[in-house]
Structure formats: C-alpha cells, structure tokens
Amino acid sequence: MKPSRRGAGLVALAAATALVLTACGGGGGSGTAGDVTGGAPPAAGNDMNPVAYDQVRDGGDFFWSIDSLPPQYNYNQLDGTERNNKDIIDSMVPEIMKGDAQSVYQIDPDYLESAELTSTDPQVVTYKLNPKAKWNSGRPIDWTDFDAQYKALNGSNPAYVVSGTTGYDVIQSVTQGATPQEVVVTYSSKFADWKGNFLPLYPRETNSDPKVFNEGWISQPLNDQTAGPFKLESVDATAKRITVVRNEKWWGQPAKLDRIVYVALDQAAQADAFANGSLSFLTIGPSVATFQRAQQVPDTVIRKANGPNYRHITFNGAPGSILEDPKLRLAIMKGIDRNVITQSQIGPIVPGAKPLGNHLYVEGQEGYEDHSGVVAFDPEKAKSELDALGWTLQGNVRAKDGKQLVIRDVIPTGTPVSEAEARIVQQQLAAIGVQVTIDSVPSDNFFEQFVNVGNFDITHFAWLSTPSPISSSSGIYRLVDGTVGQNYGRIGNQKINDLLVQANAELDPVKQRVIVNEIDTELWNIGHSLLTYQRPDAVAVKPNVVNFGAKGFADYNYTLIGFAK
C-alpha cells in the first residue's frame, strides 16, 4: 500500500491499512533471540490459518489489494521502497532470508543452503547458494550477483539512486568461494545486522548498469531478471492491475495459486470490493470504519497479530523551512495529543492502545523504552515556548517578523486514516495559535513528488519495519551533507550519525540496545518526527483462505498461500 515505506530496509506506508499491536493467534517460527543480528525477539506469533502444503487446494486466483501501481519495481531504488512494491516483488524476486514470527531472519532453503558468520575479525560471512537456484534467464544465481549489488548500493557511485547504503557501505569485498555458488563477503568494519543485507537480491544485469537500475524496472518487473515461484504475466496500467502467474522455471515446490492479481484501489473502495467478492482479503490496519465494515461482511474472519509497523508525523526541518528550528518543532509537538489520535484511530481495534515511544523499537521487541516525555502533551507549555521563540499570537494565528505560523500538512487522497489524523492535528494546533493547511495530493505520486523531495511542512504515513530494525532505520535518521536517503525531513546531527555507526557495529545485542536507546533519546530531543501509534496487523479474510492473514513480524511463503481443500 502506498503511503507506507520501508527504510533501506524499512517500507513506508502512506495509506491507512497495515500493521500494529493487537491480540495474536497462530504459531511462530523457530528462531531464537540474541543472535548476531541483535534483532528483536519476542513477538507473539501470527494468525494466518496455517495449513500443510498437501491440504491446500491446487489452483485459484488471489485478488490482492494495493493502493496504486508502484512507480518503480526495483525495490533498492529510492522510489521502489513502497509497500505496494514489496508485496509484488516478494513473489518474484529472491528474498534469501525471511523473517519469522519472532522477528528473526531464517534462511530460505530455496535460495540458500547456509549463511554463516565465519569470522569476526575481520567480519566475514559465507553464503552457500542452492545449486538449483537460477534466474528466469537460465543463468545460475552466483557470487557475481552479490558483488554487483554491493557495488551498486554502497554509495560509491552517485549514478545509482539508492534507497539506502547501510550495510553495503561497510563491505570491503565480495568474492567467490570454493565454487561460484559460494559467496564470501568481507566487511571493513563490524556490521551486526548482516542478515538484512542482499534483501531482496537483484541480478547483476540490473545492478551493473545505473540506467537499468534506475529506469529498467519503472514500467514493469523484468521477467528474465526475476527468480521466484511466480513470474510477471501482465501490467495493465489502465485497469491498474498487475498479474503474476506460476513460474514454470521455479525449482522449489510449485505455488498453489494459479495467479495473484494485484488490484489498485483507493482505501475507501477496498472494503466494498472485499464485501462483493472482488478482493480476497481486506487489510484493516488502524481504520475503525474498515474494522466495523468487515465485521458486517458475512462468512468473514478477522485475523490479528503483533506487528512491527507504526504511524508517525514527519516534520520538515530542512534549511529555510518554517520548521527548521528544533525548538519550534518541539513546541508544536507539545500541542498535539497523541493519545487522542491513538484512541480515535485504533482504540476500538486495540483496546488499551497507547502512543508509541521509541523510533527504533516497537512494543513487543526487547529493548523497547519510551523516551517521548520531552514532547508530552502540554498546550500551555507549548504556548509559552512559542511566545519565548517570538511566535506571538496575532488574532487567531501566531506570527513572527511579519510571517504567520502556517504549516502545510501534505496527505495522500483516498486515505481516511491520514485525513482523520490531519483533521485532529489541525484542530489541536489551532488551539495554540498554529494554523494547519491540509493539502491532499494524488496518492500515485505522494512520495515521488512530495515526500521524497521535501515538498511539505508535515506529513503522515507509516513505516514498515524488518527483523533488523537498526540497519533498516539508519537511512531514516542519518543526515549526511548531500545525501538525504529516507530522512525526508532533513533532520539529524553528527551525534546520531556516530551512534548509528556504533549500533550497527555492535555484535553484542545487549550493548547494542543501550546504544539504540541513546539514539532514540536524541531523536526525541531534536524533534525528528512525532510517533503516533503502532499499526494493528488486522486482516479480514474468508475462512477458506489459508497461510495468509495477519503475518506480524513474519514474511509470507508465497508457495503456500491459497484456499483450503
């Protein structure tokens, strides 16, 4: 879904439906906490109606809702890190490791026989590829694909417009091991979240040419450069549909579904489409109206799970922007009641829900600490701080040096959650003399023409997280001259940059969590962004849909999705 995004590992979601903290069901994976990833342990499973492969009906079409067709199918390119794209390419492009229900990466045996940390000084990771794994072109997947991706994403060549360089910028070399299917990755410095690298993996044919990297995947996925259980059948830009079908060149267990049809619909239209049978599921996320509508659809079950994703308000602090001053951002944040937003948006879905207090960990992950006290709702304090900054009330709106304190809230059209949040913020800030102008823009280019380029004062969307929360978040919070990455608000400092480097290099998960919480404290202190709430992972489906639903921290196995016999 569109208005959501993933930081160099994280996906951004502008739309309203995605994931959050709710009741859970179903089983989890087999991973263990505290491994070298430093990843977060402890989610409580997922709820996907798990059924054994031989109990899934062979065949059928699955209609999967997205908010719009992606502007870019190369997930590693800046415009490609959207939820819509993630859902699509995961059926076709190698994810050599997949997150389990405990938010721990496990190797995918269709692509890897093993992936091991074979040395810590220097850090060396050795991958052994499944010898059956081939691109649809017929070429075996080998070490050259890893080498090309590392060189494209390490930041050394500005011709590659990448979503982030974290993890690749500390690789010293990628070489062949005993065979072309053994990949030896040597790091120049320690990198704890190495399991999050090369996800997804694109072929050297994409990564060796900046033009192909940036432009080759814009109109559609390149079928000969994919390698998954499905392949592209068609992209219908008029009907706003993309269809993938079983891949006859796939070497693993065949997918149960005949095809998956990704249907682009505004959020407001998705509930009715599910009710009339045009969609195979309905993502509820934090929409109370959608939750209530789903409850009215006959023969429907609602699946829920803990999830790692969250809503937030990004502030634009770029030089020259009205919110450049961190003291002004913090004063305004104190005028926004996050509890009201949380309860109005997800209270009926998640009883007892409260605002999120950490930029890098969500509740349910080990290491989570709430450092949001610095922006606790206090309208009187907000008013006094604004007065002290010279923004004095003149009529109903504050002004300074002849300029009114008017901020532009850019949101995507057709996204009820963003609209509701924006109205609440508008009303609350009016009470402290800050005027908010809501600017609804087309969801099709919400990121490309507005968020990515800083064409906003504040904006709302969701970040979709990964089992490697530190490295995947680095691009959101790092600020380096000339490089924005996914730090769309252009807010940061050298202290945060240095701490991110330390956290990514710390192999001891206990020590890493201490550093991460230092980062979060500083992010709150500079008014980087205002977190609102974890998004509920709530999905409505028919009872016969199996191996699909509220996946929580896990990744889907696309060969298992289908319908019960």
Handedness of CA 411, 412, 418, 424 (dihedral sign): positive
pLDDT above 70 (res 35): no
**Tens-place pLDDT, residues 227-251:** 999 999 999 999 999 999 999 999 9
CA distance 419 to 217: 32
Report whether 549 contacts 541 (CB < 8 A).
yes
Report whether 473 contacts 40 (CB < 8 A).
no
Q: Reply yes or no: is the peptide bond before residue 221 cis, omega within 30 of 0.
A: no
Q: Which residues neighbour 10 within 8 Å (Cβ) at sequence distance 6 or greater? A: 81, 463, 464, 465, 466, 472, 473, 475, 476, 486
Q: pTM for this one?
A: 0.74
Beta strands (DSSP E) in 239-369 are 241-246, 259-264, 281-283, 301-305, 310-315
Least confident of 49-58, 255-264, 438-447: 438-447
Share of the chain above pLDDT 70, in %: 91
CA distance 472 to 168: 12
Report whether 404 contacts 391 (CB < 8 A).
no
Q: Could you tell me the pLDDT band of residue 1, with boundaries at 50, 70 and 90?
A: very low
How much is the pLDDT for 363? 80
Least confident of 476-480, 545-549, 556-560: 476-480
pLDDT above 80 (res 115): yes
pLDDT above 50 (res 100): yes
How much is the pLDDT for 281? 97
Tokens of 362: 């969500």
Tokens of 427: 């009303």
How many Cα atoms are found within 13 Å in the side-chain-facing hemisphere of 346? 31
pLDDT above 80 (res 280): yes
**Tens-place pLDDT, residues 357-393:** 999 988 877 788 999 999 999 999 999 999 999 999 9
CA distance 448 to 455: 10
**Tens-place pLDDT, residues 326-364:** 999 999 999 999 999 999 988 888 888 899 999 998 887
Q: Could you tell me the pLDDT band of residue 42, with boundaries at 50, 70 and 90?
A: very low
Beta strands (DSSP E) in 395-534 are 397-400, 403-404, 406-412, 435-441, 458-464, 529-534
CA distance 353 to 326: 28
pLDDT above 60 (res 6): no
pLDDT above 60 (res 191): yes
Q: Could you tell me the pLDDT band of residue 441, with boundaries at 50, 70 and 90?
A: very high
Mean pLDDT of 78-98: 93
Q: Does the domain at residues 310-534 carry the CATH identifier 3.90.650.10?
A: no
Q: Which residue has the higher pLDDT, 386 or 551?
A: 386
pLDDT above 70 (res 19): no
- DSSP alpha helices (H): ranges in 364-508? 379-388, 416-430, 446, 469-477, 494-505
CA distance 279 to 64: 6
Mean pLDDT of 412-438: 95
318-324: long-range pairs with CB below 8 Å, 24+: 318/454, 318/489, 318/490, 319/490, 321/454, 321/457, 321/490, 322/403, 322/405, 322/406, 322/407, 322/457, 323/407, 323/457, 323/458
Report whether 282 contacts 305 (CB < 8 A).
no
Q: Could you tell me the pLDDT band of residue 288, with boundaries at 50, 70 and 90?
A: confident
Q: Could you tell me the pLDDT band of residue 181, with boundaries at 50, 70 and 90?
A: very high
How much is the pLDDT for 102? 77
Going from the C-alpha of 30 to that of each of 19, 104, 105, 107, the distances in angstroms are 22, 9, 10, 12
How much is the pLDDT for 487? 93
CA distance 501 to 478: 10
Q: Which residue has the higher pLDDT, 33 or 395?
A: 395
Q: How far is CA 492 from the centre of its chain?
A: 20
pLDDT above 50 (res 17): no
Least confident of 111-125, 134-148, 289-303, 362-376: 362-376
Burial class (CB in 10 A: 0-12, 13-18, 19+), 498: exposed
Q: Could you tell me the pLDDT band of residue 27, with boundaries at 50, 70 and 90?
A: very low
pLDDT above 90 (res 303): yes
